[in-house]
Amino acid sequence: LEPKLYDGSVIQKTDAIVILDSEETLMLEDENRSKMLQKQKDPMMTEKKVNTKPVDYAALNQLLQDFEIRFVPQTELSVE
């Protein structure tokens, strides 16, 4: 057998793994969210302009799609 970086058959699986949140996980989530909100209100953090907001993945994905529409990678440029 040759060593592989990944197992292709595992990557082809599209079944989502269902993981139920435990009570502890939900408590930690609430605690972390409250800490983030406190940091956002902290005057020192606003003075240093530290970004503690969660990532908006929908907006990020939209930017990626817009980028792919507007810009052509160099490998796709014609000879002209």
Q: pLDDT tens digits, residue range 6-52?
A: 666 666 666 777 777 889 989 999 999 999 888 878 887 777 776 76
pTM: 0.37
Name the helix (H) or strand (E) containing 75. none
How far is CA 18 from each of CA 2, 8, 15, 21, 26, rounded to the nearest angstrom?
32, 21, 9, 10, 16
The answer to whether residues 40 and 52 touch, using CB atoms and an 8 Å cutoff, is: yes
Q: Is 49 helix (H, G, I), strand (E, B) or coil?
A: coil
- The domain segmentation of the chain, as residue ranges, is 21-72
Dist. CA 14–CA 57, nearest whole Å: 21
Measured between alpha carbons, how far is 50 from 36 in angstroms, rounded to an integer? 11
